[in-house]
Amino acid sequence: MEQFKTLFPIFFLVLFAAALALFFFLLSILLGRKSRSASKGIPYESGITPLGTTKERFPVKFYLIAILFIIFDIEVVFLYPWAVIYDKLGMFGFVEMLVFVVILLVGYFYILGKGALKWD
């Protein structure tokens, strides 16, 4: 019974969020405008008629750059907690973070050497 008392706010929050989402979904169905037009049926409802077909080849370079950015961005996020408790970790923490940064730099120079960041 004690665990239920501590978990009750979490259950209530999840139930409340689900009920609120369902309420707004039903409200949008009831009050939303329903219009059918030729422009609604085409992809990318921006008002611009799409050119070409979906079979066109698209360069992967953009996705590669985006994935590399996300990977290195997430890795840099690990530097923040280390910087907050740097004084408590001492020399051990410094050496561990140095190893981490060296591994990041090795990966960075590897992708530079492979030409992954060249936008030709």
pLDDT per residue as tens digits for the range 27-65: 999 998 877 776 666 666 566 666 777 677 767 777 888
Pick the CATH number of 63-120 from 2.60.40.1180, 2.40.50.100, 1.20.58.1610, 3.40.50.2300: 1.20.58.1610
**Domain residue ranges of the chain, discontinuous segments joined by +:** 63-120
Whole-prediction pTM:
0.48
Q: Among the residues of 1-120, which ranges form H helices?
A: 2-31, 38-41, 61-77, 79-84, 86-114
In order, the DSSP letters of 99-111 are HHHHHHHHHHHHH
pLDDT per residue as tens digits for the range 69-85: 888 888 888 888 888 88
